[in-house]
Amino acid sequence: MVIQRKKLQDTRQRRRRRVRAVVSGSKERPRLAVFRSLKHISAQIIDDTVGRTIASANDRELDKSLKGIKRAAAVGARLAEMAKRHGIKAIVFDRRHYKYHGQVKALAEAVREGGLKF
């Protein structure tokens, strides 16, 4: 059991490094980083040149009745609204080690609908 857990952590870490080797945020195009746990989803917009979080949103701030994909889409819409307030028009999407489907995809599509370009 411990060996399987270690192998899972190693593969996730390798996948995360592979994604981050390509994706980097700048002042013109900050990075949108997604974090998903078993219960919650959150995202933040980061300027990697100075290492500062510009905006962040999570599902704890939302209505408790929203579940799954709808909750992720609401987080994406909220984050797009915050980004527009800060004058951000384009971002780079960092999905970390998560597959681009389900909640991660819903969050990304909601951010796109909010007016941000990937």
Cα distances from 91 to residues 31, 33, 54, 66, 83, in angstroms, run 6, 10, 12, 26, 10
Please determine, for residue 19, whether its predicted confidence score (pLDDT) is greater than 90: no
Q: What is the pTM (predicted TM-score) of this model? A: 0.84
Could you tell me the residue ranges of all domains in the chain?
A: 1-114
CATH numeric code, 1-114:
3.30.420.100
Over residues 80-100, the mean pLDDT reads 92
26 band by pLDDT with thresholds 50, 70 and 90: confident
The residue among 118 and 75 whose pLDDT is bigger is: 75
Please determine, for residue 54, whether its predicted confidence score (pLDDT) is greater than 80: yes
Q: Which residues, 6 or more positions from 20, have their beta carbon under 8 angstroms from its beta carbon?
A: 94
- Res 34: pLDDT: 95
Chain Cα centroid distance, residue 72: 10
Q: Give the residue ranges of DSSP H helices in the chain.
A: 2-22, 68-85, 103-113
- Res 24: pLDDT: 77
- Res 37: pLDDT: 93
- Res 77: pLDDT: 96
DSSP reduced 3-state for 55: strand
Q: Bridge partners of 42?
A: 35, 58
Q: Which residues, 6 or more positions from 102, have their beta carbon under 8 angstroms from its beta carbon?
A: 68, 69, 72
Contact 75, 62 (CB under 8 A): yes
Count other Cβ atoms within 10 Å, centred on residue 77.
Answer: 18
Please determine, for residue 20, whether its predicted confidence score (pLDDT) is greater than 90: no
